[in-house]
Structure formats: C-alpha cells, structure tokens
Amino acid sequence: MKFGKEFAAQMVPEWHEAYMDYAYMKTLLKEIHLFKQKNRPAAGGAARSGSLRRSLTLYRAFSGLLIHRTTSPNNTNKQLHDVENQVIQVNNVRTDGGDERSETMFLMTGDDGGEYELVYFRRLDDEFNKVVKFYKLKVDEVMQEAAVLNKQMEALIAFRIKVDNPKGWANSVEETSKLASEVEASVAALYATTPSLAIRASRRVDHMDAIDEDHSIHQVAKPSSDESSSGDDDHNKFNNGMEMKPVNNNNKSEIQEFKMDETRSSMMRPAPLEILQRVRFNPGQETPRSTIKGFLKLPNKTDLKFSKENFKKAEEQLKKAFVEFYQKLRLLKSYSFLNTMAFSKIMKKYDKIASRSASKSYMKMVDNSYLGSSEEVSKVMERVESTFIKHFSNANRSKGMNILRPKKRKERHRITFSAGFLVGCTVSLIFALILIIRARHILEADHEEGRVLYMETMFPLYSLFGFIVLHMAMYGANIFFWRKYRVNYAFIFGFKEGTELGYREVLLIGFSISVLALAGVLANLDMEMDPVTKDYKAVTELLPLGLVMLVVVILLCPLNIVYRSSRKFLLVCLFHCLLAPLYKVTLPDFFLADQLTSQVQALRSLEFYVCYYGWGDYKKRQNNCKTSDVFNTFSFIIAATPYLWRLLQCLRRLYDEKDAMQGYNGLKYFSTIVAVSTRTAYTLNKGIGWKIVAWIASVVAAVTSTYWDIVIDWGFFQRNSKNKWLRDKLLISNKSVYYGAIVLNVLLRLAWMQTVMNITIFSLHRQTMVALVASLEIIRRGVWNFFRLENEHLNNVGKYRAFKSVPLPFNYDEDEDKDE
C-alpha cells in the first residue's frame, strides 16, 4: 500500500483537517516535476554528457577499498561545500502572540523553476505550523486532564484505605520515630543472623503507589510468582528503575543499603486521608429517582459513605476514565508519528524530483521541534499503564494491557460464509414459497375465502419478521457505507471499543431470522384441517408465537452468546426510550426512538399477537380482534407511542439544553401524533369528516417532517454553500447521490400518506398494501440513517471532537485548594 493511502487510513477521522495535507503537497511536487520535464535538456545531449562523464571517471586514480579518516582537510572542504550548496535555511520566528512558528528560506530562487519550489516550502511551513499548533493544544488538554485524574487517584487510594482500615493511618511524628526504631532493631537482627542472599530477598517489600503528576510513579516492588522465581535480574527489572547497588561480600555495606531501602519505604506513605475532607461524590449515573429530585430541586446526597459498594462504584468509574484517557494518549502519539513520517516522505519526494538535498536539514528541524522532541505523551502513557495495572488489574500486566489496548474484532471467514449461506437459503425459500402458491392455486378465485382468511390472520403474524429483517438489512448497508466513507459510527453511538458489530454480523442475525420465518410460513401452508372437528392444528398455528418467543429469549439472554454487549446496549437504549423524560437523552436513545417511529406497523403486529393468541382465535384461525373496542383503542395508543417517546425526549432536551430547536422538533412530533391518530380514526370509521381532518393533519406532518429531515437532520439547503442546495462538506464525491436522496425522501413521505389517499396497486389485499407502505417507510429510514450520521460526523470533525466525556467519581472543593 502506498504511503498516501496508509496515511489517510490511519488518520483520526475527526482530526482529518489537522493532519498535514499530504495529497495537496504531492500536487505541488507534481507541478515542480512537470516544469522540470518541460525544461529538461535534449535526450541526446544528456546521453553524450553522461557518457563523457563516465569515460573521464575511468581514468581517475584508484582510491582504495579502505576508508581513511585522517583526511581532515577534505572533511573541512566537504563541510564548506555543503554550506555553499545549502538549499534551505529553517528559522524559528516568534509571532506577536508569543507563539513560535517555523519559516523556511529557500536559497535557490534564482534557479529555473525556483518560484514553484518557493511556493512548495511556504505551503510546507503552513502545514507544519498547523500540525505543531494543534499538537500543542491537544497535549495541553491531556496534561490538564492528567492533573484531574491525579487528584481522582489520590482520593480513590485514600477512600480504599478508609474502607479497608476504618480507623485510618496515623501520620504523626511519634509513628515516624517508632517506625525508625523498628527499622534499627530489624537491621541489628538481620546483621547478626541473615546471610546476604536473604537480605537481598527481604528487599521485596510491598510499597504503596505514590501518585505524583510531576514525577514518575513509584512501582510496586512485589513480583509475581513467575518473577519471584526468576532471580535477582528479573526482580530488578520489575522494580523498574529503583536504584539497587551491586551486592558485594561486605555485610556492613549490604545492611546499610537495606537500611536505606527500608527508610525509603517508610517514607513512601499512602495518600493522606485529609484529602477526603475536601471531596464529595459526583452525581452518579442518572436514574428516574435522581431526575425527579432534580426537577423538584431536592438535594441529592453526595457525602462520602465509606462502604465497599461505594468504593466499587468509584473504582469502576475511574477505571473507565483511565481507559478513555489512555485512548486519547494513543491517538495523540499516533498523530505525532504519522505527521512526522508524512513530512519525511514528502521531503524525500522533493529531493528526488528537484534533485536537491534538503530533506536532511528540514527533518532535523522537525525532529528538534515540539512535534518530534516532546516526550510528555509517552511519559504519561507509561504512568497510566503502571497505575492502571497496579490499581485496576491486580498487578496483572497482560490483563491490564488487554483492557487498555483492546483488540479489534477480526473479520472471520466463517461469519462471512454463514451470512452468505443464509442469504442463499432465504432466496431459495422465497422461490419455494412462490412455487407452492402457484402450484396449489392459492391466490385464485376458487380459494378466495381461504386467501382472505390467511391474509387476515397469518400474514400480520409473519409480516412482523419481514419488517425486522428489512430494517436489519438496511442497517447492515448503513454500516457498510459508513465504514467505506470513514464515518466514525462506533464513536458517535458510544459503542465500547472492539464490541461494535460489522455489517456481516448484522446481516447474519437478520437472515437467520428470515430463514426461520420463511420455514414457518411453509409449514403453515402445509397445514390441513381436521376432517372431523374442522379445526386447524394448533401446533402449526403456534409457530409464529414460538419464533417471537425465541427472539425475545435470545435478546434477554444473560449468557455471553450472540453478541451480548450489543444486546445489552440495545436493551439499555430501549429502556431509556420507555422512560423517555426521566433519563438524559443521548444520541443512541433518540436514534433508536426514530427507528421505532418507522416500525409502527411492526408494533401493531405485536398487538395482534396478543389478541390472536391471548383470546384463543388461533385454534380456529379466526380474526375477531377488529370487532373489539379494546383492540381498536390500543391501535390508537400503539400508533402514537413511538412519536410520543420522541416528543418527550425533545421536551427533556429542551429542559436540559435550553435549545429552542428542541421545542420546534417536539412540535413536529406532536403534529405527527395528530396525523397518525386521525388516520387511524379514519381507517376505523371511514367518515368524510375524519378523512378531511386526516388529510390536513397528514399534509402538515409530511411537510414539516420532510423539511426537518433535509434541512436540520441532513444539513442541506445551506445558504452560500459551495455545493448548490447542499452543504460545504460532503463525504461522497458524486453530488447526484445527495440530490437523489432528497427526491427519494420526498416521494417516500408521500407514500406514508397512502392511508388517506386509498391508493391500491393491482388490486392487492389491504394487508399487502399496508405491509408495502410500511416497508417503504423502513427503506426511507435506512436512507435517512446514513445522511443523518454523516452530518453528525462532520459536526464532530468541525469541532475536532474525537473523545467522549467520562464522568468522574469525585468532586474536589477547589476553593480550599486555592486557599492553600
């Protein structure tokens, strides 16, 4: 792979504009190359000149095979020659704002094409200064966060001491003198009885970590079982820099050294408990109870209670904060390395194209700059690793590093094969279903009564699986294109690193459901009535219910199977939707609620499940649900429920963020609730009055929703945009894709109004038309998903937002710190 592609592939997507513009620098080099080609001497003259030069070299004196380093005059002449042939001179200039920037002076402007090279170096300076400025900014942010985590860690250690030793640790002068006298006594005893090898072994005293942001973290001098058996060399490596004098035969010097080590260990005290006097708990994860308290302005208890349960919660929160902080450090280190490599590569290309030797002097400046010489990030990474391993991984390095550096999910061949196999099975079962229907003349007039009965009973049951599979197929396509155009969907949704599903996994689950559902449909078609009782076999009628129960059981299964982390994430978001106003709304929550607004017909199918199986209609394959007032009442409620969830989420965001746009968005969903309710009433009553009201409400809802989709959610129709009718930044180079998506969204919104339009195609059954319109709405939602997340990603790029904020467990009283 060429470096340009590798460079683009390894960029942090949200920082794309902060990287060196390698592609543009290559275009400048291409201009220099084209100029050189146009002004190159004739090929024949060049060949003759080259051959003459080669002939002359054949008569030079033989210099020998050995290099003689005593020719200092020649070296001096070589250095003078290098100075005379110097191509560039790099200077660091202090700006009015106090910042330091690099300026490269090109010394060969008089050469042919020198103006092209001058433009190249000016742009190169701009790119380098941009990179250094951004890197400094991010390192400053990281160091500030490191200071905050340092305080949090001190509080956690003090909290641990308080939990394990409720009486606390005494830090008085008396205890210090007592410890010193104990050390003296132990030294005397060891001098009399302990051989030198035992003295060295006794140095392995358990030290507490002393966290200090200005110094390296003192390592725990407690080897693991493997290291303790590997001798003194391994022990010294484990101590990681602690000074150990070589052991000699003089017992007195050994005991003096041991005394010094013991004194050092006695001075490495745990974090002082006085810290806890200035610390309070931050409000933890929001619950409905805490939300109600906050709304009623009731105080939440934040006092420290030294219980093991509270300590575990604080430890888990701080552990997540350390993991996220370490990811920031890794990205920053990668940013520095990639940009340094990019400058090296582009300068080597320049030397080759321009026949210069400027890369050495320029890269010397890069290496001496803040970008190339700063070691803050590497040092902090080492401290974070050491702290995390000892305090959060029980001194197990491999376990700690696996958490800090989780492995990416591998694309396994068996998943690809299984997904493809299930797609093939789905297509085969569909063809088999079509052939059976035609062979048995099920859709012909002779079987009209059976066909109507089947469409009124079994079709609504199995169409539920069709809606789910179609939605999952659209989501799989979304993931494929998000990855292709480098939309960081895992970060936007807040997936734990390494647990996000790829499109293959999503398609595998979706088509597994489709195979089971189609097999159930074929089993139902083979069902026959009992010739005596004229009843349908209850076993085959229970197949759809069994499939639903299987899906629910797998979804709720606590075992680590079938992508447990993703199932848990889905259930948490669904629970937040059910209790919409009682939880702070995040993007995954309202994104899932938007998906549910496109699955109204699937929710109605679930309502039909309850009616069909709860009232015993399945025993005779009858549909008496529509004659029930209870069923019709719940039809109103279920149709409006997803939009009600979104309305409540908008009101909650309006309360939290004080953003008027959330209020307008809530009005949009309120108009949709009115439209859906009036359309349901028209479907049940068929009155002219309900039709007029449904028409008006549906038009208002369709217009406002379409405008919001295109202008607000997708960010199109921006004024003064360089891309007409679109926005400035686009991920897809072909603009017709965006125009096509706009037209498709409008057309599918009109399909949403089919209920009041009474449009039928080829005399299809009403249930078929309902399923078709519901499928079109799911397709519209799939298209909406891609452009909605693209717009969110570009907003993150504009703000260089590549990290998620993690709540910290403790809150310091900063006023007391200032007084001190």
Placement of tokens 């010397």 in the chain: 364
CB burial of residue 565 (10 Å; 0-12, 13-18, 19+): middle
pLDDT value of residue 769: 84
pLDDT value of residue 535: 54
Band of residue 499 on the pLDDT scale cut at 50, 70, 90: confident
Residue 279 has φ and ψ, to the nearest 5°, of -120, 140
pLDDT in tens, 223-272: 343 434 444 444 343 333 333 334 444 444 444 444 444 444 444 455 56
Question: Cα 283 from chain centroid?
Answer: 25
Q: What is the spatial distance between Cα 737 and Cα 740, in angstroms, rounded to a whole number?
A: 5
Of 7, 2, 11, 5, nearest to 134 by C-alpha is 11
Q: What is the spatial distance between Cα 389 and Cα 403, in angstroms, rounded to a whole number?
A: 10
Q: What is the spatial distance between Cα 652 and Cα 669, in angstroms, rounded to a whole number?
A: 14
Q: What is the spatial distance between Cα 754 and Cα 706, in angstroms, rounded to a whole number?
A: 16
pLDDT in tens, 321-359: 999 999 999 999 999 999 999 999 999 999 899 888 888
pLDDT value of residue 224: 40
pLDDT at 762 over 50: yes
pLDDT value of residue 184: 56
CB contact at 8 A, 299 and 281:
no
Of 80, 81, 104, nearest to 92 by C-alpha is 104
Residues 129-168, buried b or exposed e (16+ Cβ, 10 A)? bbbbbbbeebbeebeebbeebbbbbbbbbbbbbbbeeeee
pLDDT value of residue 104: 82
More confident residue, 111 or 82: 111
pLDDT value of residue 280: 80
Q: What is the mean pLDDT of residues 617-642?
A: 84
Other CB atoms within a 10 A radius of the CB of residue 567 amount to: 16
Query: Which ranges of 194-307 would DSSP assign to H, the alpha helix?
Result: 196-202, 225-228, 232-239, 251-267, 288-295
Residues 6+ apart with CB under 8 A from 710: 716, 717, 742, 745
Instruction: Return the minimum-mean-pLDDT range out of 120-124, 609-613, 811-815.
Output: 811-815
pLDDT value of residue 590: 94
Q: What is the spatial distance between Cα 153 and Cα 810, in angstroms, rounded to a whole number?
A: 10
Residue 767 has φ and ψ, to the nearest 5°, of -65, -35
Band of residue 621 on the pLDDT scale cut at 50, 70, 90: confident
H/E element, 102: strand 100-106
pLDDT at 729 over 80: yes
pLDDT value of residue 53: 46
DSSP state of 388: H
pLDDT in tens, 403-430: 888 887 777 889 999 999 999 999 999 9
pLDDT in tens, 667-710: 999 999 999 888 888 877 777 888 888 889 989 999 999 999 99
Question: Cα 586 from chain centroid?
Answer: 14
Q: What is the spatial distance between Cα 426 and Cα 417, in angstroms, rounded to a whole number?
A: 14
pLDDT value of residue 528: 55
- Over the chain, what is the mean pLDDT? 78
pLDDT at 189 over 80: no
pLDDT value of residue 816: 45
CA distances from 645 to 366, 472, 577, 652 (A): 54, 22, 6, 11
Other CB atoms within a 10 A radius of the CB of residue 288 amount to: 11
CB contact at 8 A, 604 and 635:
yes
Q: What share of the chain is helix, strand, coil (3-state, %, to 5)?
A: 70, 0, 30
Tokens of 140: 């400053």
DSSP state of 536: P
DSSP state of 394: T
Of 26-35, 189-198, 804-813, give the range with the top mean pLDDT: 26-35
pLDDT value of residue 790: 95
pLDDT in tens, 523-574: 877 665 455 544 556 677 888 999 999 999 999 999 988 999 999 999 999 9
CA-based torsion, 710, 714, 718, 721: positive or negative: negative
pLDDT value of residue 346: 92
Tokens of 662: 């959330």
Other CB atoms within a 10 A radius of the CB of residue 128 amount to: 23
SS3 state at 95: coil
Tokens of 620: 């005779």
Single-letter code of the amino acid located at 174: E
Question: Cα 571 from chain centroid?
Answer: 19
Of 252, 241, 250, 247, nearest to 187 by C-alpha is 252
Residue 633 has φ and ψ, to the nearest 5°, of -65, -45
pLDDT value of residue 507: 95
Angle at 610 between CA 550 and CA 449, to 5 degrees: 100
pLDDT at 64 over 60: no
Q: What is the mean pLDDT of residues 371-376?
A: 89
pLDDT value of residue 653: 93
Instruction: Return the minimum-mean-pLDDT range out of 80-84, 466-470, 507-511, 751-755.
Output: 80-84
Provide long-range contacts, Cβ within 8 A and 24+ apart, for 626-632.
631/607, 632/684
pLDDT at 519 over 60: yes
Of 163, 106, 102, 160, nearest to 133 by C-alpha is 102
Q: What is the mean pLDDT of residues 195-211?
A: 41
DSSP state of 281: E
Residue 680 has φ and ψ, to the nearest 5°, of -65, -40
Domain extents for the chain? 1-40+83-169+270-393, 173-269, 413-798
pLDDT in tens, 781-810: 999 999 999 999 998 887 777 777 778 888
pLDDT at 182 over 50: yes
Other CB atoms within a 10 A radius of the CB of residue 251 amount to: 14
Q: What is the mean pLDDT of residues 616-626?
A: 79
Predicted TM-score (pTM) of this structure: 0.79
CB contact at 8 A, 167 and 353:
no
The strand pairing partners of 89, in sequence order, are 105
